[in-house]
Amino acid sequence: MIVRHFFGSIARTLSLGLAVFALSGGAGAQDQVLNLYSSRHYQTDETLYENFTRQTGIRINRVEGGEDALIERIRNEGDKSPADVLITVDAGRLWRAEQYGLFQPVKSASLETRIPAAFRNPDGLWFGFSSRARIIAYSKERVKPGEIANYEDLADPRWKGRICTRSSGHVYNLSLIGSLVAHLGEQKAEAWVKAVAANLARPPQGGDTDQLKAVAAGQCDLAISNSYYYVRLMKSAKPDDRRVAEAVGVVLPNQGGRGTHVNVSGAGVLKHAPHRSAAVRFLEYLASDEAQIYFANGNNEWPVVATVKPDNRELASLGKFKTDSLNLATVGRNQPLAQKIADRSGFK
């Protein structure tokens, strides 16, 4: 029996695993539906999806949940999975899905032309569609501009008791450590992690916004954060949030060398996708000028397509900067080693 109606309100909560997808037996009808598993929880993405449907006639059925839960769900569903596309944040999570064999390769001239090589899997298993930088935030009151310029500077004993960060086990920090392994080698990367752990003002806790607020409150002088959290505070309707942004300065590290570590939100077509044609079309849409602008204006992420210029004054205020050209697939592969280094270094 073919179920023809998708209960979208149920699917938005991953824990309600009884969601039923609209499936089709005919090739033509298959192009009219896309089953999307998403760990992006940004309301602004709604417009993105609505416009895709308006342009193509392809209806999107969406299941939202945590990254690990979605990956595990796809694994458990196996070749019976109704999912066509997984969209998630950070190359580390894309790599995890890749290691479980969840993606199938996509060959698309549009994607390969528009998305820089550093932001996509070399075999076409996944593609990055928006980027965020791992910045160093500093107290404008207690740190002078120019006192810190590189990630490596965070290891300097002068910052002992002055740094805040979230857990080393979080994928954002593991990706940063993974990039350092690629550039510096395992031994030097581990020495850096040990030194940063020794410089912490408090045990790792909270998310990136909490680190920025801690700097503004005087609990530490430096923090590591993703860029869009800072821009979100700048644009907030809450005066307290804007005061945090005003009290905190931003460094885009390593401009004199390899460039700032950046990561992506990205997606891939799943191995058993029942609507592959629609899935590839959706990925190509995400690389379109329109979608790229939505990513930038909606969640304060940079477009990966260089020619797209979003109208986001606060994001633009961070200025142009040199990004690390290391392929993010390498960052993903280095995640297990990054976790071992963090564990050995006492960086919790």
Residues 150 and 243 in one domain: yes
CB 127 within 8 A of CB 116: no
Residues 42 and 98 in one domain: yes
Residues 178 and 96 in one domain: no
Residues 273 and 338 in one domain: no
Query: How many residues comprise the chain?
Result: 348
Residue 208 has pLDDT above 60, yes or no: yes
Residues 68 and 198 in one domain: no
**Domain carrying residue 329:** 132-260+322-345
pLDDT in tens, 184-201: 999 999 999 999 999 999
Residues 86 and 139 in one domain: no
How confident is the model over 324-331, as a mean pLDDT? 96
Residue 1 has pLDDT above 60, yes or no: no
pLDDT at 31: 64
Rounded (to 5) percent helix, strand, coil in the chain:
45, 15, 40
Q: State both tokens at 223.
A: 């923090």
How confident is the model over 237-253, as a mean pLDDT? 98
Compute the distance between CA of residue 121 and CA of residue 246 in angstroms, rounded to an integer: 38
CATH code of the domain containing 229: 3.40.190.10
Q: How many domains does the chain have?
A: 2
Residues 20 and 81 in one domain: yes
Is 224 domain-assigned? yes
Is 137 domain-assigned? yes
Residue 53 has pLDDT above 80, yes or no: yes
Compute the distance between CA of residue 197 and CA of residue 184 in angstroms, rounded to an integer: 18
pLDDT at 40: 81
How confident is the model over 14-25, as a mean pLDDT? 37
Residues 112 and 36 in one domain: yes
Compute the distance between CA of residue 23 and CA of residue 6 in angstroms, rounded to an integer: 9
Residues 123 and 137 in one domain: no
Residues 255 and 271 in one domain: no
pLDDT at 7: 32
Residue 289 has pLDDT above 80, yes or no: yes
Percent of the chain having pLDDT more than 70?
90
User: What band does 301 get if pLDDT is binned at 50, 70 and 90?
Assistant: very high
Is 316 domain-assigned? no
Q: What is the pTM of this model?
A: 0.88
CB 293 within 8 A of CB 47: no
Residues 123 and 136 in one domain: no
312 contacts: CB under 8 Å, gap ≥ 6: 231, 296, 297, 300
Which is higher by pLDDT, 229 or 39? Answer: 229
CB atoms inside a 10 Å sphere around CB 140: 14
Compute the distance between CA of residue 46 and CA of residue 14 in angstroms, rounded to an integer: 17
CB 167 within 8 A of CB 173: yes
User: What band does 296 get if pLDDT is binned at 50, 70 and 90?
Assistant: confident
Residues 157 and 70 in one domain: no
